[in-house]
Structure formats: C-alpha cells, structure tokens
C-alpha cells in the first residue's frame, strides 16, 4: 500500500491510467474510493476497478485492485463505472460490464470486508437497455436507498437523445425499470455518471456532459420516487479538468463529491508512469437554491488565499492556468477566494464554493 506524497494533495495511482471515481462510500470505519483503472500503462485500456482507502479524506492509501475484467460478460471493455452501497453489513458494487456479445449491461459484486469482492453468479443483473436494442450506450449505475427499497439511475443514449433511466429494487439484485426521468438532445449523446440525491429540501440530478463542454451538470428539482421534476440548471464547477463526479453520504451526514481531475483531450506527458487524479473531496450544500461545493473540513487547512493562478485587474477577478484565462467574474461579487495548489493541478473556490474552477497547470505559474 502506498500513501500519497505530501506535496501531491490529490490521490493518484502508483502507475497506470485513472478516470471516473466509482463506488464512493463510508464502510467499516474508512472512506473508500474506487476508480476506473488500467494498471499496465498510463492510457485507456480494459477497465479494472482500482481502490483507495482513507481515514480522513486527505491521506489515501492505494489498495489491491478490486475488480478485474475476468468474466465473459466483461470481454468487450472490462468493468466500467458504477457505485457502492452497504446492505446488511456487506458492500454491494453495481457496475457496467462490457462484452463483445451483449454490449453494455449492469452487473454486481459483493464484499464482506471491503477488500475481497465476489461477482454475482447471475450477472448481469440488468442485461439490456430498455431503450437501445444494440445495448451500446447504457452505463454508469448509481444506486441509493429510497423508502424501504432502492433506486438506481443509469445513463443511456439513442439517436442523439441522452436519457437518465430509473430502476427500482428490494434487494439490489432484481431490478425493475420505472422509466426515463430526464431526456434531452442538448447535453450530449449520453448523460455519463448520473447521480440523483437529496440536498437541503430539494433533489439534485447530476451528470457529466459528453458535449464540447466536457462538464458536470447539476439540475435542482423535485423527486417523488418515480419522477424527477427539473427546476434550475446549474454549473457551479467551471474548470477544464473536472469530470464524472460522484457523491455519497458519509457517517457524519455530509453529502460529499469527488470528481476525476483530468481531461480526455489532455495529452499524457512522454515518459509518464501515471495519468489522472481524484479531486479533493468536497461537501455539497444548497444555499438559496444554488449548489455550493467546498473542500471538506478535513482538507481546509490545505487552502491558501492567494495564488499566481488568481489575478485581479480592472475590477475583475480572473482565474487562469498559466496559458489562458478560464474564469472571470466581477471582483466586487467575490468575498472569499480559496486555492488548493498541487504539484501539477489547482482547484479554486470562490465564495466558499459558490463557484469552483479545477485545472491542470500550464505555462509558467
């Protein structure tokens, strides 16, 4: 097991490629972060689930790989993104299995200790998309407790229409399709890594946009167990290197979000042994109807109030990555600036998370 170096404030694997955070949870006295992982090279390959654990959300230790693509229903791409939930003392992992024969389906693995994982013999538990006969774009299950059972959202896409699909279950094994809770052509062909969760007196539907923005979309609205009614569409995170965030509820009742700190279009430097990182964990709050995201209390000692990536000019506050400006706002509207600077990355928070901007450093900063 490897503890992340002190100067690197964001978790990275010892080697290989990392993307989407998966299965974020508090389980058996520790925080767990799983993630999309190709251990052999710092580039995309057949997906595994990497695993890291932490006692404080700041210091992470890399664990043995949790899921390998070793089953026939995973021979077309591996174990794609998913989520985790504790039930009766066991940890259930729901994930997208990708095979050459069946395409994308939803499968299950179970652990009794958070270290060893056994795949359900009846996988996949949802073998086909309710919308797509080709089963090409049907992925990223996010499960949550609701009432006396469970709900799960998945992303899907057919003919340019992106959909978030809702399922229900009483045991996390047998699933019934309820229907789409969101559909649009305006946010990319597939809403990736959807998440649906209560925040304040509202519900938030969050997903990652596969359009040119490559951004995280937050929709604040209402949910009754079967239907989601959109209210306001928000984008509190404005950086170039924040994608596929996922949330979980910890043992203190906090709604915590972690995102993938990288970019599909970013070139991996020659000679690199790893690529991708996890953002600093952020607590979400609903303030006057707006989603705020701000580093968890355990990480706030890492924040600084000044940084070369933030400059003030002509009545504006500008956030830049050393090569170009990423965000500009009226300086009078900003009462607080917090910056988490790393060896290669930066996260800037304005007004305690009213707006955030996450990016890799470029140029001379």
Look at the block and give the residue holding tokens 């959202």: 153
Give the Cα separation of 334 and 95 in Å (integer): 40
Rounded CA gap, 95 and 125, in Å? 10
Q: Is the dihedral of CA 10, 287, 152, 244 positive or negative?
A: negative
C-beta separation of 273 from 42 below 8 A = yes
Q: d(Cα 88, Cα 67) in Å, to the nearest integer?
A: 21
Contact 43, 268 (CB under 8 A): yes
Q: Does the active-site annotation cover 140?
A: no
Q: So which residues are the catalytic ones?
A: 20
């Amino acid at each position: 097991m490897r503890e992340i170096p002190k100067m690197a404030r964001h978790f990275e694997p010892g080697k290989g490629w990392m993307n989407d955070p998966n299965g974020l949870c508090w389980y058996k006295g520790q925080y767990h972060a799983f993630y999309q992982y190709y251990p052999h090279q710092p580039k995309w390959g057949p997906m595994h689930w990497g695993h890291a654990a932490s006692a404080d959300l700041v210091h992470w230790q890399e664990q043995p790989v949790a899921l390998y693509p070793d089953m026939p229903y995973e021979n077309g791409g591996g174990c794609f993104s998913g989520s985790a939930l504790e039930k009766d003392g066991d940890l259930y992992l729901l994930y997208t299995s990708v095979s050459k024969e069946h395409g994308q389906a939803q499968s299950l693995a179970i652990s009794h200790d958070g270290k060893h994982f056994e795949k359900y013999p009846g996988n996949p538990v949802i073998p086909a998309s309710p919308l797509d006969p080709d089963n090409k774009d049907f992925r990223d299950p996010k499960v949550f407790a609701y009432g006396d059972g469970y709900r799960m959202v998945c992303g899907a896409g057919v003919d340019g229409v992106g959909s978030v699909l809702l399922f229900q279950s009483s045991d996390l094994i047998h699933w019934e399709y309820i229907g789409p809770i969101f559909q649009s052509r305006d946010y990319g062909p597939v809403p990736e890594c959807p998440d649906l969760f209560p925040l304040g007196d509202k519900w938030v539907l969050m997903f990652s946009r596969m359009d040119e923005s490559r951004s995280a979309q937050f929709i604040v609205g209402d949910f009754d167990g079967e239907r989601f009614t959109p209210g306001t569409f928000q984008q509190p995170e404005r950086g170039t290197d924040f994608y596929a965030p996922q949330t979980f509820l910890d043992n203190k009742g906090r709604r915590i979000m972690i995102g993938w700190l990288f970019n599909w279009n970013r070139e991996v430097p020659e000679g690199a042994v790893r690529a991708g990182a996890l953002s600093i964990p952020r607590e979400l709050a609903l303030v006057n109807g707006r989603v705020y995201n701000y580093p968890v209390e355990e990480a706030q000692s890492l924040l600084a109030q000044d940084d070369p990536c933030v400059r003030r000019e002509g009545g504006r506050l500008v956030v830049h990555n050393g090569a170009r400006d990423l965000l500009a706002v009226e300086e009078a509207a900003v009462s607080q600036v917090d910056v988490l600077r790393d060896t290669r990355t930066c996260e800037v928070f304005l007004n305690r998370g009213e707006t955030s901007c996450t990016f890799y450093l470029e140029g001379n900063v």
